[in-house]
Chain A
Amino acid sequence: MKGRYLFPVMAATGALLVVASLSSGTVMVNPLSIPGILLSPGDFPHDALLLSLRLPRIGMSLLVGASLAASGAVFQAVLKNPLADPYLIGVSGGGALGATAAIVLSLAYPLVVACAFIGSLAVVSAVYLMSRRLRFGTTSLLLSGIALSFVFSSAVLLIFAFAGPDKVHKAVMWLMGDLSIARYEILPQMAVLCAVLCAAACFFATHLDVISFGDSFAANLGVRPSSLQALFWTASMLAAVSVSLCGVIGFVGLVVPHFMRRVAGPGHRTLLPASCLCGALFLMSADTIGRSIVPPFEIPVGVITGFIGGVFFLVYMLAKGEYRI
């Protein structure tokens, strides 16, 4: 499904999924009444539910899904590893420590976001500085990221060991990745930030093509280390923003770009926008399932992405018969 059919098909599917997501949840709304509610709010019984709860939540899931998928696509090219994901360099570890500390100290939600963001950026900066000493190679990035992840997750567990059970539960919900805790007032600002970062990644699409062949290949074609660093920061910021907004949502950043590479081909000019679109729709659908499947309870979206995504990908791999990385 390469080329001209891909985006129309994805856009049409996306529109249907958005409508389905708006109408489902603990209260089901007739999909046919949705255009009316959106156009003239106030005349329908469920308009507050739709406009102030579901719509911003869908917006947030689209935003975070697109950011995670774009971040994963960039990391997979920069690290020359199709199994790389946005959390591999430790963004989630730093975010988790920041958020856990804030939650255990009973800080308000905006401060949890701020602490998570500071934690993520601290890890990214540390990985950046460490690997720059080691000439910014793939292995040095990965190893410093993995080492720091361990340090930070130990710190999180240490906090758990001393915190009260209710706070630990709140923090664990955050660690699972939960869109219900997201703060929707900052949605427009975050949308602009993520759009700028995704556009920056797309601007470097040809660089990413070249980089994915290896370091000496890229050096021969004149790719500067500064471009690699710009890409590293772009992808890290996308991951950091996502983690701080709604916790550690796994799977999207790893498998969406990996899967789209098979559907849309390896060229980043197509792969990046396709991954953004697919990641956005995937996260929204997963969240819709999470808040509709066992009413009145909600399952955190991170649980759904991991479960559905993992099963889907296993089935896809088995159905394909062959699997090469």
Chain B
Amino acid sequence: MSSPLYGLAGVRAGYDGVTVLKGLDVVIESGAFVSIIGPNGSGKSTLLKVLAGDLRVTAGTVSFRGAPLASMGRSGLASERAVVHQFLEHTPPFTVREFVRLGRFPHRRFRDEGAASREAFAWTVERTGIAPFLDRRIDELSGGELQMVRIAHALAQNSDVILLDEPVSHLDMSHTIRIMDLLYDLHRRGSTVIAVMHDVNVASDYSSLVLGIREGAAVFYDAPEKVLRYDRLESLFDARCVTIDNPITGRPFNYPVPGHVK
């Protein structure tokens, strides 16, 4: 049997002495669409940083395609996975075209852009539908357009393994659907998508697996049909909710009940 994409065993990690992840065991197979859900401060983003290789674990092991993640250099890792952080810290006024091309940075050759990069760029533009605003400045795009452009940048970098931190939490309905449809389509074509999700129902409709985290430990990790039920969610979020089946996708749909927080 081939080794999984990610294998985490007894992972502890945190910042400046504060341990956020407290012994996490997770295996992520290649081609999965994993949503990470949980209350604020439960360690979702920290887990994503560990998977991205940005944060070293203080205990436990993380393997990537069978090899220890820590043994891969930063630039080696950069051509193996792409990360879309929650926010762009700075938006210097590059055009969309220049910004998406920067995604090819880990694959750069001296001076020549290379046929592979030109192909990846053309493919990315076609998949994400950003052709109409390639020449606009990224600091002048709407939130939804910028998010699509950032995903295009990630796809130009690597379309096999994509890690996203709350990719749709601040977007309107149409941009949410557009971006989630794109991620789902990539997953169906074999990409591994791992996303921290804010909205349980969006996670339910699109993921193949949902990982629930609370206080730095995994509470559940299974198909959304099995775990996104009111009993599991109530203990994860300390809120009351009602579960019905989404008539369109057939996946569980959860309503939080107003006025009922444990």
Contacts and interface: CB of A to CB of B under 8 A. Distances in A.
Interface string B49-90: 000101000000000000000000111111100110100111
Contacts of A46: none
Contact of A216 (B89, B98, B108): B89
A130 B98 CA distance: 35
Given A216-B54, A267-B98, A222 B106 contact: yes
Given A216-B85, A220-B83, A266 B78 contact: no
Nearest to B74: A222
Contacts of A219: 54, 74
Contacts of B90: 80, 212-214
B129 interface: no
Contacts of B105: 206, 210, 221-223
B94 A209 contact: yes
Contacts of A223: 74, 105
Interface residues of A, number: 19
A224 interface: yes
A214 B88 CA distance: 7
B117 interface: no
Interface in B101-126: 102-103, 105-106, 108
Contact of A220 (B82, B91, B92, B93): B82
B109 to A, nearest CB: 11
A267 B73 CA distance: 27
A265 interface: yes
B147 interface: no
Contact of B91 (A210, A213, A215, A224): A213
Interface string A213-256: 11111011111100000000000000000000000000000000
Contacts of B88: 213-214, 217
Interface centre among B75, B88, B89, B92 (most CB of A within 10 A): B92
Contact of B93 (A80, A217, A266): A266
Contacts of B106: 221-222
B46 interface: no
Contact of B102 (A209, A214, A224): A209
Interface in A178-217: 206, 209-210, 212-217
Contacts of B192: none
B94 A220 contact: no
Contacts of A222: 73-79, 105-106
B254 interface: no
Contacts of A209: 94, 98, 102
Contacts of A215: 89
A56 to B, nearest CB: 35
B191 interface: no
Nearest to A80: B90
B157 interface: yes
B92 A266 contact: yes
Interface string B29-61: 000000000000000000000001010000000
A265 B74 CA distance: 29
Contacts of B77: 222
A267 B89 contact: no
Contacts of B157: 220-221
A217 B85 contact: yes
Nearest to A262: B93
A261 to B, nearest CB: 8
A216 B84 CA distance: 10
Given A206-B105, A219-B54, A220-B52, A213 B92 contact: yes
Given A80-B90, A209-B102, A266-B94, A220 B108 contact: no
Contacts of B79: 222
Contacts of B74: 219, 222-224
Interface in A86-138: none
A224 B93 CA distance: 24
A224 B75 contact: yes
B167 to A, nearest CB: 14
B92 A221 contact: no
Given A217-B85, A224-B74, A206 B108 contact: yes
A80 B52 CA distance: 23
B160 to A, nearest CB: 15
B18 to A, nearest CB: 16
A215 to B, nearest CB: 7
Contacts of B52: 220
Contacts of A220: 52, 54, 78, 82-83, 85, 157
Closest 8 CB pairs of A and B: A222-B78, A214-B89, A222-B75, A220-B83, A266-B92, A221-B105, A222-B106, A212-B92
Given A220-B54, A221-B102, A224-B73, 6 more contacts: A206-B105, A215-B89, A222-B78, A222-B105, A222-B106, A224-B75
25 contacts: A80-B90, A206-B105, A209-B94, A209-B102, A212-B92, A213-B88, A213-B92, A214-B88, A214-B89, A217-B85, A217-B89, A220-B52, A220-B54, A220-B78, A220-B83, A221-B78, A221-B103, A221-B157, A222-B73, A222-B79, A222-B106, A223-B74, A224-B73, A266-B92, A267-B98
